[in-house]
Amino acid sequence: MRALKTVLIIVVALVVFGLLLGLVGPKHSHVERSVAIGAPQSVVWNHVATLRGHDAWSPFRDLDPAMKVSYEGEDGALGSKSTWEGPEAGKGMQEITAVEPGKSMMVGLHFMEPFSEEAEASIALEPAGDSTKVTWAYDGENSFIARIMCVFKDMDAMMGPVFASGLSKLKQLSEADAAKLAADLKARTFRGYEVDEVDRPAVTYCGIRNTVKWADLYSFFSGSFHTTEQALGQVGMKITGAPAGLFYKWDEAKKSTDVMAAMPVVADSTVQVAGCTWVTIPAGKALKVTHHGNYDNTQEAHHAMDDMMKVKGLQLRDAVIEEYVTDPGQEPDTAKWLTNIYYPVR
């Protein structure tokens, strides 16, 4: 009988002790860790922008390899969700509650098993010189059981190293991506120009073609564009884009070029346009350079294209295209003139 009373006293004491711990334990937990990543903010964001993307660096996958995850909604968009269930991770759900593309994301957490608890996590990116600072934070209201646990070891001490591990993996992934992008950029940069390989659709042009001295190009283009625009208007043809120069031959010896001052239009070769001819540049691969500045200063851009073609072993398959995006009549500052240069290649 005395032994039973002793056991009961011990049980009651333990219960009271537990109640006291639950009452005095912290009601709120905060965990926060940061890391500097040697990669552009946009590159890091690619790994942060979606819940599926988190799986590639989340430390919780390593803590519970048997965990099963499912997704709902447009991943990365406000309101998209994922649920998880595993022998170590328990069961729960997370939902994107706020997102500022490229900068931050807030996620609401609902833990269901082994105990019910609500929390919120955030990931914030900000520039830090040549790097990106990433801060991963957690804020939660502790359940009664969690309060007891936190008396002996707080959440920051338990989960801080786990957060740091995840951020370390995010750093590795992002910096590897940044290195790859830098290598790719270097491989396609010639004479200070970035040369892109693009798939260009077929474009039909209507315009005036002639052999023109280099010194007369500006006046040729001005007069021919005006004439073509008027002729197209008379037959009801709609111009679909910026005027262009199609260069078929560049004669260094005679300082002249076989060129067409052309307007892109809807293909309809049955329509007769007075004084104009039709030509279609077929769809296919092309090199592209974007040039800012006076038209007279595009020579280096063309040399950059030639260098790229030699390196890649490419050949021209059609006329070189200069697309004059900026109207000089509307923009007097030549530094702001934009020209897209295309080399259709094979």
pLDDT in tens, 270-279: 788 888 999 9
Better-predicted residue by pLDDT, 73 or 27: 73
For residue range 28-41, list pLDDT tens digits in order. 788 999 999 999 99
Q: For residues 283 and 146, which has the higher predicted lDDT (pLDDT)?
A: 283
Under 8 Å CB-to-CB from 65, ≥6 apart: which residues? none
Q: pLDDT tens digits, residue range 308-332?
A: 999 999 999 999 999 999 998 899 9
Mean pLDDT computed over 141-148: 57
Dihedral sign computed on CA atoms, order 182, 184, 187, 192: negative
User: Between vectors from CA 100 to CA 94 and to CA 105, what angle results, nearest 5°?
Assistant: 25
The rounded distance, in Å, linking the Cα atoms of 337 and 215 is 20
CB–CB of 208/224 below 8 Å?
yes
262, 244 contact by CB (below 8 A): yes
**pLDDT exceeding 90 applies to what percent of the chain?**
74
Top pLDDT among 280 and 140 is at 280
**pTM of the predicted model as reported, rounded to 2 decimal places:** 0.73
Q: How far apart are CA 122 and CA 108, in angstroms?
A: 9
How does pLDDT run across 4-17, given as a tens digit for each residue?
455 444 444 434 43
pLDDT band at residue 2, thresholds of 50, 70 and 90? low
What is the structure's pLDDT at 148?
54
The span from the CA of 228 to the CA of 208, in Å, is 7
Please compute the mean of the pLDDT values over residues 99-105 and round it to a whole number: 96
pLDDT interval class at 158 (50, 70, 90)? confident
Identify whether the C-beta of residue 128 lies closer than 8 Å to the C-beta of residue 11. Answer: no
Query: Which residues have a Cβ under 8 Å from the Cβ of 229 and sit 6 or more positions away?
Result: 239, 263
Q: What is the pLDDT of residue 20?
A: 40
pLDDT digits (tens, 9 = 90+) for 173-214: 999 999 999 999 999 999 999 999 999 999 999 999 999 999
Q: What percent of the chain has pLDDT over 70?
A: 88
Least confident residue range of 89-98, 145-154, 219-228: 145-154
Q: Give the pLDDT mean for 52-70.
A: 90
Q: Please state, in angstroms and rounded to a whole number, the distance separating the CA atoms of residues 128 and 134.
A: 10
CATH class entry, domain 196-344: alpha beta
Per-residue pLDDT of 105-133, as tens digits, reads 999 999 898 878 889 999 999 999 999 99
Cα Rg for the chain, rounded, in angstroms? 33
To the nearest 10°, report the CA torsion of 255, 257, 263, 264: -130
- Of 334 and 1, which is predicted with more confidence? 334
Pairing of strands 277-281, 203-213: antiparallel
β-sheet bridge partners, residue 249: 258
Encode 212-232: b = buried (16+ Cβ within 10 Å), e = exposed: beeeebeebbeebbebbbebb
Position 45 scores a pLDDT of 98
Domain ranges of the chain: 24-183, 196-344
Q: What is the mean pLDDT of the chain?
A: 88
Q: What is the CATH number of domain 24-183?
A: 3.30.530.20
The confidence score (pLDDT) of residue 270 equals 76
